[in-house]
Each structure stands twice: as C-alpha cells, then as structure tokens.
Amino acid sequence: MSASTPAFIPFTRPSFNQETIDAVAEVLRSGWVTSGPKLAEFEATLSQYFGGRPVRCFANGTATMKIALQVAGIGEGDEVITTPISWVATSNVILGVGAKPVFVDVDPVTRNIDLNKIAAAITSKTRAIMPVYLAGLPVNMDQLYALAKEHHLRVIEDAAQAFGSQWNGKKIGSFGDLVSFSFQANKNLSTIEGGCLVLNNVEETALAEKLRLQGLTRQGMDGMDVDVLGGKDNLTDVNAVIGLEQLKQLPTYQARRAALARQYFDVMRSELQSSGLDTLDLELPVENFTETNWHMFQVILPLTQLTVDRAQVMTELKELGIGTGVHYPTITGFTLYKNLGYKTADTPHAERIGRSILTLPLFPAMADEDIGRIVKGLVGILKKYRKN
C-alpha cells in the first residue's frame, strides 16, 4: 500500500482488546477449553443482564433459533410466520424442524415485518411468530405480544442483531417469550461464533440444555441417559470468556456506534444537498436513538433513478477502499425457496428492499473521518450515474 492509498474500510470489524486476549490465553492455559466454568459464568452474567431470566448459550445463533422452535414444540405440519428480509437461517430452521415458513411483507420504513399484515396470514396451523429486528431495530413489542396473545401464539424473537436494543426502556430479552441472540463475529457483542437463548422457566431451560448436547440427561456420577434427540450445539469456554470481556466493553461500543450513526445522518444530508442530489429517493434508516443498537447502517439505493445496479455501486465503492454488504436479499428469491413455491412478488416491499439495500461500514473502531470518506464516495457515485 502506497503512502497515498487510504486504508480499506471494511463494512464491519470486531473489536478485541488486550484484556480479552489475555483472558483467552488464561483459558487455554487452564486446559479446560470446552464447556465449563467460564460458560457457566457467562450464562449467569447474561441472566443478570436480562433481569434474572434463564439463559443458555449455544455454538451459534442458528442453533439458538432451532432449539427455541423445539422448546416451543414446533414441528411437522406447523406454520411459523416470519419476514422475508433476514439471513436465510431464520427460515431454514423452520424448515429444519418440519414446519412451514409463512412470509409476511415488511414495513417499507422500518424494513421489519409489518405487524399489521400478520393477522391475515394466521391459519389453523399457525403456531408461532418469528419477528426479526433488522439492524437492531425492534418491532412494536406491545403490538407484537398483543397479537400473539389474541391468537394464542408463541413468539420466538430472532434478535440476532439486537443485543443491547431496547423497548420502552427495557432491554430486548428482558421480557417476552423465547428470545434468540447471535454472537457471531460481526455482532455488537461477539464471541466469534455463538449465541444465547433467553427462556421462560426451569422446564424450558432443562430441555434446551439437553437439546444442545445430544439429549443427554445426567443422573449422578455413575450413570446417564438420553431421552430426547439432541445435537452438538454447546458453546466453549474460549468463546464464553470472550463474551464476558465483550460485555464489559458493550456500553462503550454502543455509544460509539450511536455517535457514528449520527454522523452518517448529518454528513449524508449535507452531502446530498451540496451535490444537488437531495431530490434522489435515497432512503436512510429510521433515525432512532432510543431503541436500536445501531448494529448496521443501511440505505436503500434509488435504483430507478440510476443507470447502474447495486453491484456496480458496490464495485466502485470497493475501488475507493470502502467495503459494503447486502443484508439481505429476499429469502423467497433463493432457489431453495422458489422450488418450494414461494414468490418474491407476494411480498413486494421486501422484493424492492432486497434488491436495493446496501450496508455501509459501521463498527466501533472506525474513525470520525471515515464517515465523510464513505458518504462522499457514495454520493459521488450516485451523482455520476443519476438519470437526467
């Protein structure tokens, strides 16, 4: 890299301080690197964070959702209502337990599932609602749970991106039904890979424990039994100790993310206006600094007003040293789901968002000046390809 070439800005990058590195080294030296005392400590700390609710950790956020469905008794022939704008794991786990995903279109502003359209999708086979909190922005939780109560449905919250988000001053996960979080490398709290499930009672917690480790039931020192079909989804102490250290840093990380998001709004509006592009239909996220954790900063490109597609915009940003992402293509557009009979045309808002959403860089280690560079790069491309 030459002195004049600016450093590449990835769309995300985890932050691990020296204390975290030292803590991992201590676990490695201890000789107990799989599930053990650090996992127990992490789960207890998370339980405290969620107001005393039982919490169990798993190898990844996909496992947390799969086991949540199993704990809720969802299986063959059941239907689960969810959103088509999410990582495909959300609906894959529904298929994986033998149930059917029922996709409801999203609200074009929040990009989350449109709660006002759920009632029309409920049938005699519906057993649960699985909302997703895109980029950390929760749905209207009061409306969600009122709807679930009215129709006697379980709620399995795919809060993979929402660790640290809130509703009416209460942490997501500290209330509600089954709540699933991911700790994957790009999340606000990362254990590199991992996730946790917030449960309701002792019975659900015991079942979740068995399901994550081959259905094993311990019966004292001299025996054991297996009474349910489980898998191998346990979290290691190495991952757990990273999570413990990340929890200490979380308030700092959250504040930094919010500060960067504010800069995005300010700089974006200024650059669009000064470039004469303020009439472009570039859609910014909901400007919410109370409930969202600012996991991502996403814009909807005004593709109908441009002479290029999203791929070209991403390519030219990469040439400028700016990484971007797509979160997410519409699930019903994947071959697997098309072969199952799903159509993107059935959820038009999701279809439009899925082909035009763009994730811009946002992570705590970013410098303030990075925001200006990213926005100038994007606005310059929009100006270059704007239709006359």
Pairing of strands 297-300, 357-360: antiparallel
Residue whose tokens read 């969810």: 82
**Alpha-carbon separation of residue 57 from 61, 193, 228, 295, 374 (angstroms):** 9, 11, 19, 21, 36
Q: Rounded to 5 degrees, what are φ and ψ at 342?
A: -80, 150
Catalytic residue among 187, 338, 383, 387: 187
Task: Write the burial class of residue 328 (CB in 10 Å: 0-12 exposed, 13-18 middle, 19+ buried).
Answer: buried
- Residues 6+ away with beta carbon under 8 Å from 33: 27, 236, 237, 238
Strand partners, 82: 103, 130
Q: For residue 124, give the H/E element and its range.
A: none
Structural contact between residues 65 and 180, judged by C-beta atoms closer than 8 angstroms:
yes
For 325, the 3-state DSSP assignment is strand
Cα 204 from Cα 210, distance rounded (Å): 10
343 is catalytic: no
DSSP state of 103: E
The CA–CA distances, whole Å, from 310 to 73, 193, 268, 276, 278 equal 41, 29, 18, 21, 19
d(CA 284, CA 161): 18
Cα 199–81–190 angle (5° rounding)?
45
Residues contacting residue 193 through CB under 8 Å, at least 6 positions apart: 59, 60, 183, 184, 185, 239
**Catalytic residue set:** 187
